[in-house]
Amino acid sequence: MELKPLKNWTPDERISAVKNIFNTITPHYDLLNRIMSGRRDVTWRKFVVKRIPVDAKEVLDVATGTGDLAIAIADEAPGVHVIGADFVKKMMRLAQSKTQNRGFISKIDYVSADATKLPFKTGQFDAATIAFGLRNIPNRLSALHEMGRVVKSGGKVITLEMTFPQNLRLRSFFKWYLNHMIPLVGGLISGNMAAYRYLPDSIQDFLTPDQLSGLFESAGFKSIRAFPLTFGLTYLHEGIVE
Ligand SMILES: C[S@@+](CC[C@H](N)C(=O)[O-])C[C@H]1O[C@@H](n2cnc3c(N)ncnc32)[C@H](O)[C@@H]1O
């Protein structure tokens, strides 16, 4: 699979490339996440769970992929029912089998859905999360609007995304790591170097933490907060639905 530079893609080309990439890398996705982040991804998702309101009963995890965040929520927030939604069924089939292995089958349901057209009622959820998904969606504001629509008033929307650290030394190391190590390691393990070229491109093409806070404002969320994680390699953003 040859990928042209992200800036030259139309939104439709990006959506079909994203579907193609996640369909191809499903079996290696979890392992590569752990290797490439040095298992930090697990800690980052646990922090998302901590930011979910303690009284939440129904949580939606958008772009759930192989279900790691949905499973972390079910594991660490007892009494919560989670719906994981994604438009790549192959990723969710793996999520489903991991959910079964963990004994969480009654706590998590998976639904095939596009983040920009969620098949859920207005105000159905107490919170909605999206981890490492927003940067893959060309119309990010529309995805945030949809998450806000399905969360009840006073509920929370949370995003988790990789960003460039502010520290200049760390920034140049991260740039080298992203552009050289990730395609190499990802390509060797998954056999799909192009997919692991998309990953660094999509991180470099994504919004800065301040721009993402601005997008939360445009989506109409209140009490917006941003938390840097691991020297700002990743950011959690949250906002309250009016
Ligand atoms: C990098 S993975 C993240 C998976 C998971 N949230 C995690 O923490 O590992 C991105 C996921 O977003 C999904 N995705 C991308 N665009 C989407 C959209 N418009 N609607 C639903 N899912 C989408 C992909 O299919 C993929 O499973």
Distance 136 CA to ligand 1 centre (A): 7
- Band the pLDDT of 168: cuts 50, 70, 90: confident
Q: Which CATH class is domain 6-240?
A: alpha beta
Q: SS3 breakdown of the chain: % helix, strand, coil, rounded to 5?
A: 50, 20, 30
Check residue 3 and give its pLDDT.
Answer: 59
What percentage of the chain carries pLDDT values higher than 70? 98
Length of the chain: 242
Q: Given the CA of residue 113, which atom of ligand 1 is nearest to it?
A: 21
- Band the pLDDT of 8: cuts 50, 70, 90: confident
Check residue 190 and give its pLDDT.
Answer: 84
Check residue 228 and give its pLDDT.
Answer: 96
Report the side by side order of strands in the sheet with 222-229. 108-112, 81-86, 58-62, 125-131, 151-162, 234-240, 222-229
Structure confidence by residue, pLDDT tens digits, 35-55: 988 999 999 999 999 999 999
Determine the 3-state secondary structure of 95 from DSSP.
Answer: helix
Check residue 204 and give its pLDDT.
Answer: 87
Q: Given the CA of residue 61, which atom of ligand 1 is nearest to it?
A: 6
Check residue 218 and give its pLDDT.
Answer: 98
CB–CB of 89/112 below 8 Å? yes
Structure confidence by residue, pLDDT tens digits, 88-137: 999 999 999 999 999 999 999 999 999 999 999 999 999 999 999 999 99
Structure confidence by residue, pLDDT tens digits, 175-221: 898 888 988 988 888 888 888 888 888 988 899 999 999 999 999 99
CB atoms under 10 Å from CB of 121, counted, come to: 10
Residue of 12, 22, 92 best suited for mutating to test ligand 1, as the one with most atoms within 8 Å of CB: 22
**What is the model's pTM?**
0.94
**Given the structure tokens 């996705």, which residue do they identify?**
29
Distance 169 CA to ligand 1 centre (A): 30
> Is the per-residue pLDDT at 2 higher than 60?
no
What does R_g of the chain's alpha carbons equal in angstroms? Answer: 17
> Is the per-residue pLDDT at 4 higher than 80?
no
